[in-house]
Amino acid sequence: MEIKRAKDLDENIREKISELFVEAFGQELKIISRDADKLIKAFSHIFVLDYFYIGIIDNEIAGMMACTDKEHYCIHHNKKILLKNLGFVKGFLATMIFTKYFNKYPKYPVEIDEKTGSIEFVATNKKQRRTGAASLIMEYIFSLNMYEKYILEVADTNEKAFNLYKKMGYKEVHRIKQKYAKKMGINYLVYMVK
């Protein structure tokens, strides 16, 4: 697998990242829309390519993840684009969700410093799941030695990801009960540090 920063790939990488994002997080995104094509189009603009790392196998995206610090966000949404592509109600809902969950400060409910990297939006192509693609991308990020430690957030119901992170040396440091658990299919958000 070849791993590259998204910013070093061609401009249509935004749509490909959006496709993988919708495929991987579709269950959680159903609250906004069940139309995958509409979501892909609406979200293509949100990804800050400087922070995304893409694993490529046979010219296809095998997986992706973002790595930022405590000050920066790996996604920035444009309310007008969301409203245009999703309609007023769903676009407004998407804007509220992105603002509340992805563009808030502090980013985590635990204190982190400038020596801590934030791993976000870990996703693997359906064809590449359980092949080690996510582990390889994460190991690549670790090999860059940008940070001394790393933090990530995972839903407690995402047992495969939770177990992968434990296997990679992450330890749980905090848990937050989710207010809308039934709608999102999540009981707790778990914060883990390596």
- CATH class of the domain comprising 2-193: alpha beta
- Given pLDDT bands bounded at 50, 70 and 90, which one contains residue 184? low
Q: Tell me the C-alpha distance between 192 and 187, whole Å.
A: 16
Measuring CA to CA, how many Å separate 125 from each of 119, 155, 192?
A: 18, 19, 23
Comparing CA positions, the residue from 46, 119, 122 lying closest to residue 82 is 46
Q: Tell me the C-alpha distance between 132 and 110, whole Å.
A: 29
**Percent of the chain clearing pLDDT 70 (strictly above):** 97
DSSP 131-187: TTHHHHHHHHHHHTT--SEEEEEEETT-HHHHHHHHHTT-EEEEEEE-TTHHHHT-S
pLDDT of 194: 95
Q: Tell me the C-alpha distance between 153 and 172, whole Å.
A: 10
At position 136, the amino acid (one-letter code) is L
pLDDT of 106: 80
Domain regions of the chain by residue span: 2-193
pLDDT digits (tens, 9 = 90+) for 9-55: 998 999 999 999 999 998 888 889 999 999 999 999 999 999 999 99
- Quick check: helix, strand or coil at residue 105? coil
- Given pLDDT bands bounded at 50, 70 and 90, which one contains residue 130? confident
Q: Is the pLDDT of residue 170 over 80?
A: yes
pLDDT digits (tens, 9 = 90+) for 76-119: 999 999 999 999 999 999 999 899 888 887 888 899 999 999 99
Q: Tell me the C-alpha distance between 139 and 15, whole Å.
A: 25
pLDDT of 81: 97
Cα end-to-end distance, the chain, whole Å: 24
pLDDT of 164: 94
Question: Which pTM was predicted?
Answer: 0.92
pLDDT digits (tens, 9 = 90+) for 155-166: 898 899 999 999
